Amino acid sequence: MKLVIAIVQDEDSGRLVDELMKNEFGVTKLASTGGFLKSGNTTLIAGVEKEKVDDVIEIIKKTCKPRKRVTTTPSPATWSTGGYTPYSVEVEVGGATVFVVDVEKFNKI
């Protein structure tokens, strides 16, 4: 048994949950926040048989595509006497960060 942890953008999470459920993978959805853009993410966790991990990862790849987004630079963490002028930057968002962890014991109660 493996635990698949996938961190995806909020806008991809609904489609991903639907696809996983359609393929009979149970999933738990947790709200989370990204550090760099401070935008909403969703963390999905699923207990998966070892032989089906690649199937889950393939569903994630098909559903969560990277894309470009324009955002303003974050303000500096420290206060300074000078002024701060934010400017626009293009960043890549979307896709997924996926962790696969061994599960020593699994009980469904």
pLDDT of residue 75: 60
Range 26-38 average pLDDT: 78
Task: Indicate the CATH number for domain 2-75+85-102.
Answer: 3.30.70.120
pLDDT band (50, 70, 90) for residue 7: very high
106: helix, strand or coil: coil
pTM of the model: 0.75
Contact 19, 1 (CB under 8 A): no
Rounded to 5 degrees, φ, ψ at 26 are: -75, 145
Q: Is the pLDDT of residue 4 over 70?
A: yes
